[in-house]
Amino acid sequence: MMNEFPEGFLWGAATAAHQVEGNNINSDFWVFEHTPGTIFAEPSGDACDHYRLFRKDIQMLHELGLNAYRFSIEWARVEPEPGFISRASLYHYREVLETCHEYGVTPLVTLHHFTSPRWLMKMGGWESPETPARFAAYAEAVMRELGTLIPYVCTINEANIGVLLQLMRFNSGQDGQAPVGMEVSERQKAYNAWMEACARELNSTPERVKNFLFSATDAAIAVVKQAHEQAREAVKAVRPEAQVGITLALSEIQPQPGGEEMAARLRYALYEQFLPAMAGDDFIGVQNYTRMRVGPQGVLPNEEGMELTQMNYEFYPEALEGVIRMVAQAGKPMIVTENGIGTEDDSRRVEFIRRALKGVLRCLADGLDVRGYMYWSLLDNFEWMLGYRPKFGLVAVDRITQERTLKPSARLLGQIARQNRLVD
């Protein structure tokens, strides 16, 4: 098997604004984290202070040998009130983009990475028919100001995440995000009470607080698809040359005996139903972390004795190859926009990266069009409901001093990137 990657291959790491910037106070998630009874282990707070330290972080990424950086522009910062565009926030992101170009780092910009402005929840969030036009207007404002600096645009991160979380039985009100030991009915009551408190804080009702992460209804899926299509059109109207795509959270779906029909249904729910909305895209962002074993009744639990990550799913880096092969059938270029592992043991991260990239090489050897690999994540960051416990980063972050410390996995990925080949 060949061990070299194509010339011009994008090697990078990814972050999301809310998870690294800190103090994203105008977002829905800030409310969710701080409302009594929250399902979040802790608030995001200062996060990694990347809003202030972005120059050092981009320089660090460059010095490692990486040539790309996927990050998100925060809608809640750019448009803190409906129709009001913050010039200061756009200027900040201009500085981030200019720093990327200064260091020869290709920016891949995500316009929506889970978090939304607080005011969007008052309008009905990700089930409101107004949301696609609102999102497209925000996308247009970003591109008019910054488009000359943005070669790649991911409109929406993991447009299918609500479906995936539902399938993985990770949805808050149904899966014990409330204190362990509660009965299911008690968990549901606690969740409902928290959502009611959040709605009051947002000057809305629980029925209208449709947060992106947990919206998996038919109405929400339709809104997300429309938002992507309208944002893509808005981006192209301003910068026709920009490469536009969407990213999807895709576990490798492996049917077990008798599970073929269920696997086909899950494949449609997670992936195939989104294909029509992606018909005009320039690339597909592939995001993978593990596999999904499927039996006749649905997703099977982890097998006894399998190595698990801090996210409690199986250590299975080979899943990336399977997902790339599935997505390749759409006939579009692919960029691995997220792939990584939450672990305290960096030697397992090293192993994960090596094995995942061997799968990418096998795909390339078979002629599949993979353009880049973005490891998730550059920094140990805020992992949503789980707080700061899971460690996904190539770089450790001291929670008090914000000091960055490179891990061996960072040096490995940088060496691979510099040589553009899988090193021993």
349 in helix, strand or coil? Answer: helix
Q: Are 108 and 152 within 8 A, CB to CB?
A: yes
**What letter would DSSP give residue 302?**
P
If 0-12 CB within 10 Å is exposed, 13-18 middle and 19+ buried, where does residue 175 land? middle
Q: Are 327 and 286 within 8 A, CB to CB?
A: yes
| Cα–Cα dist 312/310, whole Å | 5
3-state secondary structure 166-221: HHCCCCHHHCCCCCCCCCHHHHHHHHHHHHHHHHHHCCCCCCCCCCCCCCCCHHHH
379 in helix, strand or coil? Answer: strand
Residue 404: φ, ψ to 5°: -95, 140
| Cα–Cα dist 36/402, whole Å | 27
390 CB-near residues (< 8 Å, 6+ apart): 309, 310, 311, 342, 383
| Cα–Cα dist 188/206, whole Å | 14
Catalytic residues: 338
Q: Are 79 and 86 within 8 A, CB to CB?
A: yes
Q: Are 286 and 333 within 8 A, CB to CB?
A: no
| Cα–Cα dist 179/183, whole Å | 10
- Evaluate the CA torsion angle 289, 293, 294, 300 in order and state its sign: negative
Instruction: Tell me the residue type at 121.
Output: M
Q: Are 320 and 195 within 8 A, CB to CB?
A: no
